[in-house]
């Protein structure tokens, strides 16, 4: 009996230590520092900055970094998207709409000031992405 109680206590302590280390690595909000901003999904096409973002089971990449002061298009691509990431809202530009289950949707964004962050959210607020203009 004593051996099984000691084993249970050891497992609980180990679980708490592992869980605590996981929580610390993710930060106090559970999100941690998050991924580094992606620049590989941004390209210039005919004088317009195009930011490619995938939408299925969330948005990818979740963080992008783009140039400020340039007319911009957010190009959202879906491939068999049947989750809430198909219902996109971008409050700062007044966009709200449904993306096709499969296809590409271009959303025009005026040139943004340096330091502006554009945030897109799914209909439930569960998935999001940001674009930081530098």
Per residue in 38-76, pLDDT (tens digit) is: 668 999 999 999 999 999 999 999 999 999 999 999 999
Alpha carbons 81 and 66: distance in angstroms, whole number: 26
Alpha carbons 104 and 102: distance in angstroms, whole number: 7
- What pLDDT sits at residue 23? 35
Per CATH, the number for 42-133 is: 2.60.40.420
Total Cβ atoms within 10 A of residue 83: 16
Q: Produce one character per residue of 47-74: b if its CB has 16 or more CB atoms within 10 Å, e if not.
A: eebbbbbbbbeebbbbbbbbeeebebeb
Strand, helix or coil at 113? Answer: coil
Structure tokens at 8: 């249970």
pLDDT-above-70 percentage for the chain: 71
Please say if the pLDDT value at position 115 is more than 70: yes
Alpha carbons 106 and 6: distance in angstroms, whole number: 60
| Helices of type H across 40-111 | none
Q: Where are the domains of the chain?
A: 1-34, 42-133
In 6-134, which ranges are E strands? 42-45, 48-55, 59-60, 63-66, 72-79, 87-90, 95-98, 102-109, 117-122, 128-133
Alpha carbons 84 and 45: distance in angstroms, whole number: 30
Per residue in 13-34, pLDDT (tens digit) is: 544 444 443 333 333 334 445 5
């Amino acid at each position: 009996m004593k051996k099984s109680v000691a084993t249970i206590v050891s497992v609980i302590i180990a679980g708490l230590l592992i869980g605590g280390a996981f929580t610390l690595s993710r930060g106090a909000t559970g999100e941690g520092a998050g991924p580094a901003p992606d620049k590989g999904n941004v390209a210039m096409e005919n004088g317009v900055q195009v930011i490619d973002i995938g939408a299925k089971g969330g948005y990818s990449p979740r963080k992008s970094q783009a140039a400020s002061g340039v007319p911009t298009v957010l190009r959202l691509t879906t491939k068999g998207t049947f989750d809430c990431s198909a219902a996109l809202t971008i409050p700062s530009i007044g966009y709200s709409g449904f993306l096709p289950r499969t296809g590409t949707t271009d959303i025009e964004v005026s040139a943004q000031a340096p330091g502006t962050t554009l945030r897109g959210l799914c209909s439930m607020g569960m998935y999001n992405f940001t674009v930081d203009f530098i």
